Chains A and B, each alone.
Chain A
């Protein structure tokens, strides 16, 4: 057989990766550094004792979080967050797929889902406390009760939006139901699922903190509330910084996962744009 000449578009090669990484880092950190300096200047001139300067906060950060507090407060929080996010993804994608594939079920559930989504999850905390007690389960349930909705609703939309030609192709080749689910429906919905997961992540972080502020004896939220009530101002600020750091870290990890999972999606869009 003759080989037909054809062009395979290769991914652009990473040139001077080292230089790029350094420039990227400078770009990313430049403004925060500037703000930090500005903060320091303002703080040294200000007389308000609730606005400590960055150096004091940095000291407090090291004293507060590096050591046993990391194991006592940070790790349990992250554990509940991870558990909550994982449960939300599994629950949201599973339920969303079933609802998205079943038109009558979707019509039946749509008003209910809209209502449930509209309920602000923090108001469920007292209810959850009564039903489940002040336990880890309660906190994870609170996280899931808020984080599951963006994933579920996006999955429903993603599954519904599966291209009809792709579906007919699978049907004409008699691709089985499970193969269709795994090789067609879920990948086709994956851009929407990932968009939902991104929203869910920030919701989950908020709920993690709030659930710990209500009733708890450990955790990041508990610590920050404790510091605030005891006028440990620098410590309180350091907790807020740590939370911000956790948020950034989560976003970075999510970005890496998303790039891997949606490589085809970004690739397709890039080709279409050219």
Chain B
């Protein structure tokens, strides 16, 4: 993970949902690249196809046009180099497995010894501060803790890139702040690349080294913004910086324009 080459390259991605009532173009023409070790946030107006984009990146959905490449190789299905953290932690963890069982499940098909597997699980749970809850079941935990389990599961999988789909949309503000710092910490300490999809503008600016602002559907990249805040960030001082306010105001304005946007009208069905 030391090479700082291009990790992910998305070229002219296009996704059209075919339906009897007419085709819906969710993603118009979307291109961007992401370097190894980066923390990139994707932010856009609600309903702009963020989840569709993410599923295409993760290989869960086949794009209609364009390509997604990891290290230059096209992504055609779920890749061992990616791990996804879904928004709905309650529906993404297996309630019949313990916390440990949940984290361990994706490792079963990797050719690891039992001891190696246990080490990975213990290490991942420790990294998210849940070593004490390994034997609990997910439903015995609070929402924030459940999302930590999902993050631990992704970390234990040892991906090169962590793809997170609005992971903190359903937790309270305090928990959310903690989880944001956890993501930054995992990124800084473990060097995992993170692609973080959110609808929260402040969150995107606080977390990201770069923020991609998306347009309204059919989606394209409206702006690729470098966040030139100091690398050491914390919830109180960073959010109080004048530069933070400038950046968030800028992104906010972009989103507003995107919402009213020029490209609102869906293309007529053929």
Q: Using a CB–CB distance below 8 Å, which chain A residues touch chain B?
A: 1-4, 6-10, 163, 165-166, 168-176, 179, 183-184, 187, 190, 264-265, 267-268, 271
Contact = CB atoms under 8 A, between A and B. Distances in A.
B235 interface: no
A172 B91 contact: no
Given A6-B133, A172-B83, A1 B139 contact: no
Contacts of B145: 4, 6
B92 A165 contact: yes
Contacts of B131: 3
Given A1-B129, A3-B132, A163-B91, A264 B139 contact: yes
B86 A173 contact: no
A175 B60 contact: no
Given A179-B105, A179-B108, A172 B178 contact: no
B136 interface: yes
A181 to B, nearest CB: 13
Most buried by A among B58, B88, B133, B139: B139
Given A174-B106, A187-B94, A190-B96, A3 B141 contact: no
Contact of B94 (A2, A10, A184, A265): A184
Contact of B137 (A166, A172, A267): A267
Interface residues of B, number: 41
Contacts of A184: 94
A173 B157 contact: yes
10 contacts: A3-B129, A9-B141, A166-B91, A168-B55, A168-B86, A173-B83, A173-B84, A176-B109, A179-B109, A187-B96
Contacts of B133: 6, 8
Contacts of B205: none
Given A8-B140, A166-B91, A175 B126 contact: no
A100 to B, nearest CB: 18
Tell me the dominant secondary structure on chain A's binding face.
helix
B130 interface: yes
A17 B88 CA distance: 39
B78 interface: yes
A169 B140 contact: no
Most buried by B among A168, A170, A267: A168
B140 A172 contact: no
Given A6-B129, A8-B133, 17 more contacts: A6-B130, A6-B142, A7-B141, A8-B141, A9-B141, A165-B91, A166-B92, A166-B94, A169-B92, A170-B105, A171-B60, A171-B78, A172-B78, A172-B83, A173-B83, A173-B84, A179-B108
A30 to B, nearest CB: 36
Contacts of A268: 95, 139
A8 B134 CA distance: 11
A209 B128 CA distance: 58
B47 interface: no
Contacts of B157: 173
B186 to A, nearest CB: 11
A46 to B, nearest CB: 55
B97 A183 contact: yes
B195 to A, nearest CB: 13
Nearest to B163: A172
A176 B107 CA distance: 11
Most buried by B among A3, A172, A176: A172
Interface in B118-160: 126-133, 136-137, 139-142, 144-145, 148, 153, 157
Interface in B194-211: none
A172 B130 CA distance: 23
A175 B108 contact: yes
Contact of B140 (A1, A9, A176): A9
Interface string B249-261: 0000000000000
Nearest to A165: B91
Given A7-B142, A165-B91, A184-B94, A173 B105 contact: yes
A6 B132 CA distance: 9
Contacts of A175: 105-106, 108-109
A171 B109 CA distance: 12
B80 interface: yes
A230 B96 CA distance: 54
A183 B109 CA distance: 13
Nearest to A186: B96
B27 interface: no
Contacts of B164: none
B94 A183 contact: yes
Given A163-B91, A183-B105, A6 B60 contact: no
B56 interface: no
B252 to A, nearest CB: 30
A269 to B, nearest CB: 9
B94 A6 contact: no
B82 interface: yes
Given A8-B133, A163-B91, A183-B97, A172 B139 contact: no
